[in-house]
């Protein structure tokens, strides 16, 4: 896509701090740096999001993401890592080019917070199960 900032980085039209590249994907430091080492892994081919990326590209990217995450954790002495992606604006996606975030975690005071609320008393699992399975 002509105006996609991630396509421009992948095509070297604009600079990025690229820490990995192969024929399928490229990884670079995120400008926002939620935590030190926050990295994005993107396919070179444009896909809108996780829901649209082809399975071969996705499989390759998750392996690359694992290798890069291990390197970042080791080199930056992180104690853990979040791997995440957002699909569509309602889920927090701001750049409409599929990407995986590698967010190193150093301690419980990192500048990122992910909370899973417990709605078990409000949800009928049988009904959800049946909707998904029909």
Dump pLDDT digits (tens) for 82-122.
Answer: 999 999 999 999 999 999 999 999 998 887 887 888 888 89
**Of residues 29, 52, 47, the one with CA closest to residue 39:** 29
Of residues 117, 121, 81, the one with CA closest to residue 101: 81
Which domains are assigned to the chain?
5-133 (3.30.428.10)
Give the per-residue pLDDT at 112.
81
Q: pLDDT value at position 66? A: 98
* Predicted local confidence at residue 1, as pLDDT: 63
Report the predicted TM-score, pTM, of the whole model to 2 decimal places. 0.92
User: What are the catalytic residues?
Assistant: 99
Q: Is 94 exposed, middle or buried (0-12, 13-18, 19+ CB in 10 A)?
A: exposed
């Amino acid at each position: 896509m002509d105006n996609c900032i991630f396509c421009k980085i992948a095509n070297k039209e604009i600079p990025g701090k690229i820490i990995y590249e192969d024929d399928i994907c490229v990884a670079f430091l995120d400008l926002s740096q939620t935590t030190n080492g926050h990295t994005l892994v993107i396919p070179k081919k444009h896909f809108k999001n996780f829901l649209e990326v082809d399975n071969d590209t996705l499989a390759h990217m998750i392996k690359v993401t694992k290798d890069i995450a291990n390197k970042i954790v080791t080199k930056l002495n992180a104690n853990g890592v979040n791997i995440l992606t957002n699909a569509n604006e309602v889920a927090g996606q701001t750049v409409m080019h599929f990407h995986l975030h590698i967010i190193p975690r150093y301690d419980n005071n990192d500048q990122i917070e992910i909370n899973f609320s417990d709605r078990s008393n409000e949800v009928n699992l049988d009904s959800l199960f049946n909707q998904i399975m029909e």
